[in-house]
Structure 1
Amino acid sequence: MHIHWFPGHMAKARRVISEHLKLIDVVIELLDARIPESSANPMIQEIVGDKPRVIAFNKADLADSRHTEQWMARFKEQGLPVAAIEAVSGKGLKQLIQYVEQAAAEKLAKWEAKGIKSRPVRAMVLGIPNVGKSSLINRLLGTATVKTANRPGVTRGQQWIKIGNRLELLDTPGVLWPKMDDQAVAFKLAVTGAVKDDVYDYDTVLKQLVDFLRQEYPGRLIERFSLTEIPADNQALLGLIGAKRGCLKSGGLVDYEKAGKILLQEFRNGKLGKITLDFLL
């Protein structure tokens, strides 16, 4: 499977980020808690440089908490403050804002020592597409004023958004690297919806998802689809899922494509339970 996706607006986004960094006190890097390594854009460190950075693991409600704790410990070992959040519900946002204010405290203290009037902390929200940047800002605002959608490539412009009296956020487009050499990473981005569904081979991604679930989370499949056991091959497994969900063609044959789409969708929306795809070695 080869996925190469770098639309023109993302190349422009990199330039926009670089141009606005001089106005920024803190960078908030938003990662998908299910794929905290795969959703970490290797370009961001290069672009951000020595700006203070705070990590937010979004969609923590969809991720396996055991792995989330391990990944958070890894980031903290690197000196990066990290908060597990749920942008839609607002869980964890208070801690995230505290980390942002702490990261900017030294700079603001220097300003105050020079007699410069205090101002809100200015932060930039960065992350790959569909990781939840606009949902995060909407939750902080308490109103859906930023355009959002559960698909990549919606947020293309940039805008300053005031959050209370102490924080201003710059929303920017998501940024993906120009070439995804590691196709294991590409699979994880595809299956979680970070890249558009029309830029990868669906059958290949579905096969890899089924293989992963069979190996790492078989109990979730048994529980969700009321199975007695996991069949020996993927086709038989999809056949059982299709039969359980009434995915039948004329003549009573299973519609395997429809069964596969149900499995993918239920993985993405968390109905299979809390699942993490990135494991620490």
Structure 2
Amino acid sequence: MNINWYPGHMKKTKELLHENLKLVNIVIEVIDARIPISSKNPDFDILFKDKKRLIVLNKYDLADPVANKNWEEYYKSKGWTVVLYNSTNNKELRKLEMAIAEASREIIERYKKRGLLNKTIKAMIVGIPNVGKSTLINSIAKKKSAKTGNMPGVTKGKQWIRLSGNIDLLDTPGILWPKFDNEESALNLAFTGAIKDEVLVLEEIGLKFIEKMQHLGKEKAIIEKYGVENNDKALNIMENIALKRNLLYNKTEIDYLRVSSLILNDFRSGKLGKITLEKS
């Protein structure tokens, strides 16, 4: 399966990041806690290697709690500030503000030594599409400063947002990388919605998701959710779900697109439980 999605605006975004990098003190990188490797753009480690980093493991409420802690420790071991965050829950705002303050501490101290007591910290927020950046920005800005949506590619241009605590935040569009050399990572991005469903053969993605759950030993979540019998063959499970939910053409033929959409949407919304697709 060949999965790639790199529209023209993503190339322009990479150029935008490079051009504005000299303006910022901190890079806040938002990744999906369910796929903490696949959702981390490998180009960022090269581009931001000399910048202070804050890693936000977003959507941790949809991921496995044990895996969350393991991934938190993994990224902390690289010397980065890390925070587990749910951008849809405003009660967690203080946790994120404290993480930004922690990541900024050394920079603020350097400013103080130079007599710059109220110097503004400039931060850039980056991430792949549909990882929750805009929702996160809206929560910390306490207003609808950034456009949000449940589809990848909503934010199309940069915008500066003033936050409390003398912090200016540069929002940027979601960006992938030009070629996915690893099919597993490409599939993980497709499962979570980081790649637009419209450019995928969704019937195949749904089948691959069931196979992924079987590989992880988590197929029970699917079996129990849809009330079907377990089966070694992912295709049989898919067809049984279709029959159980009456997702058929002409009352007899399996509608593989509709059943795939059902399964993927239930996973993305957390209806299959707290699932992490990658192990640290």
TM range (shorter): over 0.9
Q: Assess if the C-alpha contact under 8 Å between 1:83 and 1:92 holds in 2.
A: no
Question: 1:275 aligns to what?
Answer: 275
Q: Assess if the C-alpha contact under 8 Å between 2:56 and 2:82 holds in 1.
A: yes
Measured after TM superposition, the shift of residue 257 of structure 1 is 2.8
Measured after TM superposition, the shift of residue 89 of structure 1 is 1.0
Measured after TM superposition, the shift of residue 200 of structure 1 is 2.7
Q: Is the partner of 1:116 in helix, strand or coil?
A: coil
Distance 1:244 1:145 in 2: 43
Measured after TM superposition, the shift of residue 253 of structure 1 is 4.5
Question: 2:47 aligns to what?
Answer: 47
- Aligned AA (1:63): A
Q: Is the partner of 1:162 in helix, strand or coil?
A: strand
Stretches of structure 1 that go unaligned for 5 or more consecutive residues are: none
For 1:157-176, what aligned pairs fall within 5 Å after superposition?
A: 157-176=157-176
For 1:1-281, what aligned pairs fall within 5 Å after superposition?
A: 1-90=1-90, 92-215=92-215, 216-227=217-228, 229-280=229-280
Q: Is the partner of 1:179 in helix, strand or coil?
A: coil
Q: 1:108 to 1:204 in 2, by over 3 A?
A: same
Q: Please report the TM-score for the alignment, with normalisation by the length of structure 2.
A: 0.93
Measured after TM superposition, the shift of residue 177 of structure 1 is 1.1
Distance 1:152 1:253 in 2: 32
Q: Assess if the C-alpha contact under 8 Å between 2:62 and 2:274 holds in 1.
A: yes
Distance 1:131 1:66 in 2: 21
Is the deviation greater in 241-250 or in 66-75?
241-250
Measured after TM superposition, the shift of residue 252 of structure 1 is 4.5
Distance 1:208 1:91 in 2: 36
Q: Is the partner of 2:247 in helix, strand or coil?
A: coil
Q: Please report the TM-score for the alignment, with normalisation by the length of structure 1.
A: 0.93
Distance 2:137 2:214 in 1: 36
Q: Deviations over 1:67-95 (max 9, x none)?
A: 11111111111111111100011354323
Q: Is the partner of 1:83 in helix, strand or coil?
A: strand
Measured after TM superposition, the shift of residue 117 of structure 1 is 4.3
Measured after TM superposition, the shift of residue 254 of structure 1 is 4.0
Q: Is the partner of 1:72 in helix, strand or coil?
A: helix
Paired residues, number: 279
